[in-house]
Amino acid sequence: MEPLEEGNFYHIYNRGAGKADIFLSENDYQLFIKKYFYYLFTPVETYA
């Protein structure tokens, strides 16, 4: 896998196999948000 480069746009997403839901409970969603803020919020700009 090549490293991400500054100044580029990347389409990064999560999807379950067969388009299944990836958040099966409120706790799943909260864990995702927690990890997003820990790993991505500061170093990247997110467009959603």
Q: How far is 23 from 21, CA to CA, in rounded Å?
A: 6
Could you tell me the residue range of the domain that residue 36 belongs to?
A: 18-43
Can you tell me the distance from the alpha carbon of 42 to that of 36, in angstroms, rounded to the nearest whole number?
10
Please report whether residue 33 resides in a domain: yes
Over residues 1-48, the pLDDT tens digits come to 788 888 999 887 777 888 888 889 999 999 999 998 998 888 888 888
Q: Is 1 within the bounds of a domain?
A: no
Number of domains in the chain: 1
pTM: 0.65
pLDDT on residue 19: 84
